Structure 1
Amino acid sequence: MMEKYDVIIIGAGPGGMTSALYASRANLSVMMIDRGIYGGQMNNTAEIENYPGFKSILGPDLAKEMYESSTNFGAKYEYGTVESIEDKGDSKIVNTDQGSYEAGAVIIGTGSQYRKLGVPGEDEYGGRGVSYCAVCDGAFFKNREVVVVGGGDSAISEALYLAGLASKVTVIHRRDQLRAQKVIQDRAFANDKIEFVWDTNVTEVVGDNMKVTGVKTINNKTNEEGEIAASGVFIYVGNNPMTEPFSNLNITDEKGWIKTNERMETSVKGIFAIGDVREKELRQVTTAVGDGGIAGQNAFEYVSSLH
């Protein structure tokens, strides 16, 4: 017999956990499925300073607090990688590598993953100097020189984190100004350990066959080529949505982001989407939590209409 739930939530990030809280508190049977530990990208964030109620909190600590709330009313949590969803009208079949489950409604909160530069050496030196997570790997580069590629909130926040460990942080950005919030920019500009290289792209990650030794660059205005020595390369150039398992449902735009209305409903009745996987402007813990609350409540209303 296939296990059946009122609501299955795919992904246990901040949005998924909030949906679980709202749906289970409404007395629905709820299961969250995630291929890793609860919390999503919060686990890769050193410090969160823009979540109400906390002046500053470590990402993994906020994830733990949310998880305890989300399971307080009976929501279950299971490991598994979702491979597809089958739309059967009033029921949905969620197929995973651990088996299949049935639900009245499904909430997709699979988030996004770090985009790669796509340059030579990036894959070759993955785990040997190339990283997408300063919190995970920064300690390996204590008192050494590192490069951060990118100019958004993530890039500059992680550059600040690395400045507390590394001897020097060089931020390489393809534009002539940052996209990060001004408060983060101001901190970075005031930090003596952080230098900026503007209007520049990384063309190759270089190494000695064992580990990274630096990056090759090109100035996109002058075409001048260069090389910057570094033991670590931290890449933050955007994200791609993790929506491949749902391609059969035709709920994404041309870039793979899921399209929803303000009720978090997709074009398929009974399937909702939340958080970073959505087509939206601001991808933050706060916006994911907002999405999750809306989806959890509207999933309750949808499931109630089936009976």
Structure 2
Amino acid sequence: MIEPERSSIAIIGGGPAGYTAAIYAARGGLEPVCIEGYASGGQIVRSGEIHNFPGYPGGIPGNDLADRMREQAVAFGAKVATDEVVTADLSASPFTITTVESVYHADSVIVATGASSRRLGLPSEDEYDGRGVCYCAICDGPLFSGQRVAVVGGGDAAVEEALALSRIAAHVTLIHRRSEFRANAAIRASLADSPVEVRTPYVVEEILGAEAGVTGVRVRNTDDDKAEDLPIEGIFVAIGHVPASGLFDGYLKTDSHGFLVTQECTTATNVPGVFAAGDVADPRYRQAITAAASGCAAAIDAERWLLGRRIQPM
């Protein structure tokens, strides 16, 4: 039988949110354990070069940024466990976190499990991921200055990304599988006044490319069943995100899309002593810097909660 380890704060998830929470908690003398998972670093390790994180005017590879955050957390005294959480009993503090290799009893928990981009499910999408296939216009849009790009999706985020890219790219095509967009009326009005080319109702059948990257996209009109190849250098998939919140079903409140719900102006969830940080609780921004900021906030909220309960660091 595994002897449980005690901790004042257990942080579930690595990446900017989890590592920043670990940095702040460790600096506060709380001796946190950060269970980073087996695929550590979060979404930024898939981002290639990051150019919009403060302090790196020349950009920094996403995996390098994650490694630096992790190293900083360890330097301040955080325990970082490369392990996967199997179950989390959040019924009462101390909470029980069971991993593949250990069991932790934690007085408080910070959930920083992140969210993943919903994918098209095409083999060619995987083949050209990072070589023209992108999931964030704010992050990667400037890489396609003066080039031709396509955006796939029909909601607010997809239309907003197409509009943002229209100020950077030479030509933007917005592809949606339905005849009508789900975006709100104001955003649709902006789209109508923009230079964005709209293709509805079209589905993406294949992403075309060569060794250097994406060269086009094959789309099919679902009304007349005609296929067409559009020449592009980049394609932005904006069909939603999937938050990694299923582990906490039955304990933590979520919105209709599965994102964790926090109390206004804090990172506190509906369970006292459990806090949420990063993309798992952020359906709107999903940036490395906002994830890091919420990790900081979660560590501060957790520390104040522990002090209010007069629970001393382990």
TM range (shorter): 0.7 to 0.9
CA distance in 2, matches of 1:234, 1:104: 42
- Give the equivalent residue in structure 2 for 1:134: 129
CA distance in 2, matches of 1:236, 1:132: 18
- Give the equivalent residue in structure 1 for 2:180: none
Given that residues 276 and 298 in structure 2 are in contact (C-alpha distance below 8 angstroms), is that contact kept between their aligned partners in structure 1?
A: yes
CA distance in 2, matches of 1:88, 1:69: 32
- Give the equivalent residue in structure 2 for 1:246: 248
Judging changes above 3 Å, is the alpha-carbon distance between structure 1 residues 41 and 185 closer, same or farther for their aligned structure 2 residues? farther
Given that residues 105 and 303 in structure 1 are in contact (C-alpha distance below 8 angstroms), is that contact kept between their aligned partners in structure 2?
A: yes
> What is the deviation of 1:34?
2.0
> What is the deviation of 1:188?
2.0
CA distance in 2, matches of 1:281, 1:232: 23
Given that residues 14 and 39 in structure 1 are in contact (C-alpha distance below 8 angstroms), is that contact kept between their aligned partners in structure 2?
A: yes
1:114 and 2:117 correspond = yes
- Fraction of identical pairs, as percent: 27
Letter matched to residue 54 of structure 1: Y
Judging changes above 3 Å, is the alpha-carbon distance between structure 1 residues 52 and 83 closer, same or farther for their aligned structure 2 residues? same
Secondary structure of the residue aligned to 2:51 is coil
1:227 and 2:228 correspond = yes
- Give the equivalent residue in structure 2 for 1:298: 301
Cα offsets for 1:64-93 (capped at 9, x unmatched)? 222222222110111222232112522001
Given that residues 217 and 229 in structure 2 are in contact (C-alpha distance below 8 angstroms), is that contact kept between their aligned partners in structure 1?
A: yes
CA distance in 1, matches of 2:248, 2:281: 13
Q: Describe how 1:204-223 pairs up with structure 2 within 5 A.
A: 205=205, 215-218=218-221
Given that residues 114 and 132 in structure 1 are in contact (C-alpha distance below 8 angstroms), is that contact kept between their aligned partners in structure 2?
A: no
> What is the deviation of 1:223?
6.2
Q: Describe how 1:1-307 pairs up with structure 2 within 5 A.
A: 1-58=3-60, 59-117=62-120, 122=121, 125=123, 129-131=124-126, 134-135=129-130, 138=131, 148=133, 154-155=136-137, 158=140, 161=143, 170-174=149-153, 178-180=159-161, 185-189=166-170, 198-200=198-200, 203=203, 205=205, 215-218=218-221, 225-228=226-229, 235-261=237-263, 262-304=265-307, 305-307=309-311
Secondary structure of the residue aligned to 2:258 is coil
- Give the equivalent residue in structure 2 for 1:141: none
CA distance in 2, matches of 1:11, 1:133: 27
Cα offsets for 1:259-297 (capped at 9, x unmatched)? 002220000011100111114422211211111111111
Secondary structure of the residue aligned to 1:266 is coil
Letter matched to residue 275 of structure 1: G
Judging changes above 3 Å, is the alpha-carbon distance between structure 1 residues 286 and 244 closer, same or farther for their aligned structure 2 residues? same
CA distance in 2, matches of 1:289, 1:157: 15
> What is the count of residue pairs matched by the alignment?
275
Letter matched to residue 189 of structure 1: A
Letter matched to residue 258 of structure 2: G
When the two chains are superposed, the root-mean-square deviation of aligned CA atoms in Å is 3.7
Letter matched to residue 199 of structure 1: R
Q: Which runs of 5+ in 1 are unaligned?
A: 139-145
Secondary structure of the residue aligned to 1:134 is coil
Letter matched to residue 274 of structure 2: I
Judging changes above 3 Å, is the alpha-carbon distance between structure 1 residues 133 and 291 closer, same or farther for their aligned structure 2 residues? farther
- Give the equivalent residue in structure 1 for 2:177: none
Judging changes above 3 Å, is the alpha-carbon distance between structure 1 residues 272 and 252 closer, same or farther for their aligned structure 2 residues? same
Cα offsets for 1:49-71 (capped at 9, x unmatched)? 32222224222222222222222
Given that residues 47 and 56 in structure 1 are in contact (C-alpha distance below 8 angstroms), is that contact kept between their aligned partners in structure 2?
A: no
Q: TM-score, normalised by structure 1?
A: 0.75
Given that residues 141 and 165 in structure 2 are in contact (C-alpha distance below 8 angstroms), is that contact kept between their aligned partners in structure 1?
A: no
CA distance in 1, matches of 2:226, 2:142: 27
CA distance in 2, matches of 1:218, 1:283: 32
Q: Which runs of 5+ in 2 are unaligned?
A: 173-195, 208-213
Secondary structure of the residue aligned to 2:30 is coil
CA distance in 1, matches of 2:162, 2:288: 15
Secondary structure of the residue aligned to 1:19 is helix
> What is the deviation of 1:12?
0.8
Judging changes above 3 Å, is the alpha-carbon distance between structure 1 residues 88 and 243 closer, same or farther for their aligned structure 2 residues? closer
- Which 10-residue stretch deviates more, 87-96 or 230-239? 230-239
Q: TM-score, normalised by structure 2?
A: 0.73
Secondary structure of the residue aligned to 2:106 is strand
- Which 10-residue stretch deviates more, 67-76 or 240-249? 67-76
Secondary structure of the residue aligned to 2:167 is helix
- Give the equivalent residue in structure 1 for 2:191: none
Cα offsets for 1:196-226 (capped at 9, x unmatched)? 752346535359xxxx99633227xx86732
Letter matched to residue 225 of structure 1: K
CA distance in 1, matches of 2:77, 2:283: 31
